[in-house]
Chains A and B, each alone.
Chain A
């Protein structure tokens, strides 16, 4: 499994993919999510759900997340940037 770079920019495609993924994990409608949706402004996205998101993210996108990524990828834009 390759480690994704944290400096990659999130393209609109990747944002859309990340929105779909988060909506699915948190079970909330896609149209309520955007690039700036984050742990801070989304009650359903708590610290325990965040672990769920990260675990499933690894499996779905075949990447291995490091600790920094797990700690900082707490919004849609940051997660989208980790999609290979």
Chain B
């Protein structure tokens, strides 16, 4: 049985006096509701519904109609009936405990602003003042959900060490490592991470809700795991707390009653470390084909030097040599016949990302001076096309071999074996870890012409 709490209209016969007067309407409303709550406490099959949040959110003017009331004793507008139906459905789902169990969270630009691999554990946007407050409040909302028994997990493409530094060093973090029941922090497709989390927690992915700011990641997960709930993500950081409280929690994590065990749930799952084999059936090739990726590589384009310089400054993870260049350097390379500057523009059916990868080739030496890719397209394999182009340009300049270098930094271990995986052989290795590679250039293509 469902009953709504009394929600009197804002009309007050006593006007300002309604606050203190013994016949206060507001007081009557509170008394009646206290009685209803007392009844519900002893009658578990009575589901009490509080409509007050609906009136506060949407306004009485939009939800009540005097014309329909006096014509046909219909108190509500069509809008209210719609909201009421949705609310009753959510409440009955909550009452029947048909809610989701696991919240899978992305990190960069989701739990904090910015990319931790680029800006470091203290450089992420997360604070009590300014824009960082959006993310800090979002974390507070998530922490509150965890207290009602929602299991928090992480699926993030990052170096795990970088993420752990945020948990250890960033004092603005509301969520702690121990708030998460499981996590997958690596450069593998997120689908694999979610499957691993499901097996670790021994829960079906149909009880998972996946939150990620990146529509490409959301689409990949939704396609490969259709039973995972993948809501859209707000376009602006300031919308995060309200979006989570009004859209996500009632729709997927609604609780009618919260037991003492709920809050201890995370600990219980954390203790369950029985990790089983992955049963990944995710087909990466098929997914990439469906993405409709289009790349265009431009060579020595003077219009792109500003963006090219910018990505040499900003990119730390997929960056083989991490050489930082100014705009003037790039302009010089573009003009010079001894260098070729290759920029790769990327687009797929989700939109245009612009210039996302860069190669600077020393044509005199046949050497790849710089090779980098923005983390937005990591995993899409477009770097292979850029490398092919770099090799092609060296071939045209008469080189029979091409030199590549890997200079290790604290951030770029994800590309430590990039050249090994692309047919290069190591020539020398320095004490500081720097490796010089060489790859023979076949002249098949030249012969074909």
Q: Is A55's CB within 8 Å of the partner chain B?
A: yes
SS class, residues of chain B in contact with chain A: helix
Give the nearest-CB partner of B72 in chain A: A51
The interface residues of chain B lying within 8 Å CB-to-CB of A58 are 65, 77-78
Contact A67 B78 (CB under 8 A): no
Residue interface bits A25-60, CB-to-B below 8 A is 1, else 0 = 000000000000000000000000001001110110
Q: How far is the CA of A69 from the CA of B78 in the complex (A)?
A: 17
* Contact A59–B71 (Cβ < 8 Å): no
**Among all A-B residue pairs, the 8 with the closest Cβ atoms:** A59-B78, A55-B78, A70-B71, A67-B67, A51-B72, A66-B67, A56-B78, A67-B71
New A-B contacts (18) at CB < 8 Å, excluding given A55-B81, A69-B67: A51-B71, A51-B74, A54-B68, A55-B68, A55-B74, A55-B78, A58-B65, A58-B77, A59-B77, A59-B82, A64-B65, A67-B67, A67-B70, A67-B71, A70-B67, A70-B68, A70-B72, A71-B71
- Is B335 at the interface (CB under 8 A from chain A)? no
Bound Cα distance from A67 to B72, whole angstroms? 10
Min C-beta distance of B54 to chain A, whole Å: 16
Task: Find chain B residues with CB under 8 A from A64 CB.
Answer: 65, 67
Instruction: List the A side residues contacting B223 at CB < 8 Å.
Output: none
Instruction: Say how far B11's CB is from chain A's closest CB, in angstroms.
Output: 18
B72 touching A59 by the CB < 8 A rule? no
For residue B71, which residues in chain A have a CB less than 8 angstroms away from its CB?
51, 67, 70-71
Q: How far is the CB of A59 from chain B (nearest CB, A)?
A: 4
Find A59's partner among B67, B74, B79 (CB 8 Å cutoff). B79
Using a CB–CB cutoff of 8 Å, the interface residues on chain A facing chain B are 51, 54-56, 58-59, 64-67, 69-71
Residues of A within 8 Å of B82, CB to CB, are 59
14 pairs, A vs B, C-beta closer than 8 Å: A51-B68, A51-B71, A51-B72, A54-B68, A55-B78, A58-B65, A58-B77, A58-B78, A59-B82, A64-B67, A67-B67, A70-B68, A70-B72, A71-B71
A73 to B78, CA, bound (A): 18
Number of interface residues of B (CB under 8 A): 12
| Closest CB in chain A relative to B395 CB, distance in Å | 65
Task: Determine the distance from Cα of A67 to Cα of B73 in the docked complex, in whole angstroms.
Answer: 12
CA A54 to CA B78, docked complex, whole Å? 9
Chain A residues whose CB sits within 8 angstroms of the CB of B78 once the complex forms: 55-56, 58-59
A59 / chain B contacts, CB cutoff of 8 Å: 77-79, 82
**Bound: A67/B67 CA distance, A:** 5
Chain B, 69-113, contact with A by CB distance < 8 Å: what is the 0/1 string? 011101001110110000000000000000000000000000000
Q: Which of B31-68 contact A (CB under 8 A)?
A: 65, 67-68
User: In the assembled complex, how far is the CB of residue B78 from the closest CB belonging to chain A, in whole angstroms?
Assistant: 4
- Give A17 Cβ to nearest chain B Cβ, in Å: 17
Minimum C-beta distance from B63 to chain A (A): 11
Instruction: Give Cα distance in the complex from A83 to B180, angstroms.
Output: 54
Interface positions, chain B 381-398, Cβ under 8 Å from A, are: none
Chain B residues with Cβ under 8 A from A66's Cβ?
67
A55 and B67 CA atoms in complex are apart in Å by 10
Instruction: Report the minimum CB–CB distance from B432 to chain A (whole Å).
Output: 68
Which of chain A's residues has its CB closest to B66's CB? Answer: A67
* Bound Cα distance A56, B65 (Å): 13
Alpha-carbon separation in the docked complex, A59 to B77 (Å): 8
**How far is it, in angstroms, between the C-alpha of A51 and the C-alpha of B74 when the chains are bound?**
9
Complex interface: chain A residues within 8 A of B77 (CB)? 55, 58-59
Report the bound CA distance from A69 to B65 in whole Å: 14
Nearest-CB distance from A56 to chain B (Å)?
5
Q: How far is the CA of A59 from the CA of B129 in the complex (A)?
A: 40
Q: List A contacts of B68 (CB < 8 A).
A: 51, 54-55, 70
Residues of A contacting B72 in the complex (Cβ-Cβ under 8 angstroms): 51, 70
Complex CA–CA separation, A58 to B74 (angstroms)? 14
Q: How far is the CA of A67 from the CA of B79 in the complex (A)?
A: 18
Q: Tell me how far the C-beta of A48 lies from the nearest C-beta in chain B, rounded to whole angstroms.
A: 9
B70 CB, nearest partner CB in chain A, Å: 6
In the complex, what residue of chain B is closest to A52 when comparing beta carbons?
B78
Smallest CB gap from A54: residue in B: B68
